[in-house]
Amino acid sequence: MRFYWLTSSLKLLNSNKLRSVRSLSASTQINGEKALSTEPPPDTVNNEDAQQKTLHIAVIGVPNVGKSTFINNVVNHRVCPTSAKVHTTRKATTGVLTTGQTQLVFYDTPGLVTQSEIRKHNLEQSFKSAYRHAIQHADIIAVMQDASNSWTRKELHPTVLDTLKAYAHLPSFLVLNKIDALKSKRVLLDLIKTLTNDTLQSRRHGRKVASTQKSEEAHVVEGTLLSKRETNWSHFNDVFLVSSLTGNGLHELQDYLVDVAKPRRWTYPANVYTDATPEVLIVESVRARLLDYLPQEIPYNLKCELEYYNVEKHVVYTSVQVQCPTSRVERLICGESNGRLRQITERVTSDLVEMFGQAVSLTISTIAMSGKKSA
């Protein structure tokens, strides 16, 4: 068994992070579970209930389009682990933003997948139903599409369309993400037309594009009805162009959601910003960074388990064990002189410091489940 430990003091690297960090010193009970909250506790659900508004938003889309990055940026806290690889999110996690009298509850969902992808990436069977659970609690569906990916951007994935059809009674809007990565923004208007079946028209101002509610049209060419595979959705209420990475377009989207929120009591106290427990966030953060640091399919076959979690004098002490299928994989994770494990630990520690707004002492240990164990 090998391990590398690192104790980090609070390093607030830039002003952006400064804004997003809150001090965490308490866990709040929500539905019988602990949830991360800011300190000190501000007003919770109270005598102003009558004026409260909420909106529950399910964020769906294929893997890697930026769903988790989007939620982190909108709620201004790192509550959803992210990575450059697909299938980072495995569970439906909630990000909560309370602003004025309105509470926006975002459901982060695992990327929609087919059965063969579930097998390929060694995903849990429950994975596929996790987003359905999120949608069942949602008032509105946000469909996220990677506008920078020229291979996939022109079509909505069949699993996305299936979901939109199954929940057609819910309003939905399209979010074209990663616009910062586009060399030319010209493609965007065509993309909107294609993905919405030309049912939306540009507003003169702003990035929001409003619906004209044109009815769906059959594709008829010279009297022949083409049995074209469906790749678009005619019932989006709006389209937003955003960069979840830079924050471009997110304020406008947030204002829109506040506008359409329903008069209803808040689900969470004002100081809660996720329903995920610190323990789950720690394990998922380790898993996300393993995806970033290890090649190909290898990280998908690792199992991460929390060994220890405690908060003492404003320091989070925690330890995670990574179970590797073989000692060869264990050696790969550790790298020469444990160099790679050290890098991974430093990276996760910095994620957790940002997440919790507290000093974090993290240990990551590895164990090979078969074959000769490393010393």
Ligand X SMILES: Nc1nc2c(ncn2[C@@H]2O[C@H](COP(=O)(O)OP(=O)(O)OP(=O)(O)O)[C@@H](O)[C@H]2O)c(=O)[nH]1
Q: Which residues bind to Mg ion, rule: CB under 5 A?
A: 67-68, 88-89
Q: How far is the CB of 144 from Mg ion (least distance, A)?
A: 10
Our finding on whether 274 is near ligand X (CB under 6 A) is no
**Phi, psi (5° rounding) for residue 228?**
-80, 140
Which residue has tokens 């929940």?
167
- Select from 14, 47, 48, 84 the one that contacts ligand X (CB under 6 A): 84
Residues 275 to 294: which contact ligand X by CB under 6 A? none
CA distance 74 to 347: 22
Our finding on whether 65 is near ligand X (CB under 6 A) is yes
CA distance 126 to 19: 36
264 close to 226: Cβ distance less than 8 angstroms: no
350 close to 8: Cβ distance less than 8 angstroms: yes
Q: What is the DSSP letter of 328?
A: H
- Applying CB under 6 A, the span of 84-92, 187-195, 204-212, 353-361 interacting with ligand X comes to 84-92
Q: Which does 299 bind (CB under 5 to 8 A by kind): Mg ion, ligand X, none?
A: none
Q: Which does 77 bind (CB under 5 to 8 A by kind): ligand X, Mg ion, none?
A: none
CA–CA distances in Å: residue 145 to residues 154, 192, 273, 310, 349:
9, 11, 25, 39, 30
Please say which residue, 246 or 370, places its beta carbon nearer to ligand X.
Answer: 246
3-state DSSP assignment of residue 278: helix
Residues 148 to 177: which contact ligand X by CB under 6 A? 177
- Applying CB under 6 A, the span of 10-18, 48-56, 237-245, 349-357 interacting with ligand X comes to 237-245
**Phi, psi (5° rounding) for residue 252?**
-65, -40
Q: How far is the CB of 134 from Mg ion (least distance, A)?
A: 12
- Select from 69, 98, 271, 345 the one that contacts ligand X (CB under 6 A): 69
- The neighbour count for residue 228, using CB atoms within 10 Å, is 9
Please say which residue, 16 or 213, places its beta carbon nearer to ligand X.
Answer: 16
363 close to 4: Cβ distance less than 8 angstroms: yes
Please say which residue, 2 or 208, places its beta carbon nearer to ligand X.
Answer: 208
Q: How far is the CB of 314 from ligand X (least distance, A)?
A: 29
CA distance 339 to 334: 6
Our finding on whether 87 is near ligand X (CB under 6 A) is yes
Q: How far is the CB of 28 from ligand X (least distance, A)?
A: 25
3-state DSSP assignment of residue 221: strand
Report which residue's Cβ sits closest to Mg ion.
Answer: 89
Please say which residue, 290 or 359, places its beta carbon nearer to ligand X.
Answer: 290
Strands 209-211 and 238-241: antiparallel
Q: How far is the CB of 109 from ligand X (least distance, A)?
A: 8
From start to end of 181-237, where are the E strands?
200-202, 209-211, 220-221, 224-225
Please say which residue, 89 or 267, places its beta carbon nearer to Mg ion.
Answer: 89
Residues that bind ligand X (CB under 6 A): 61, 63-69, 82-84, 86-89, 110-111, 177-178, 180-181, 243-245
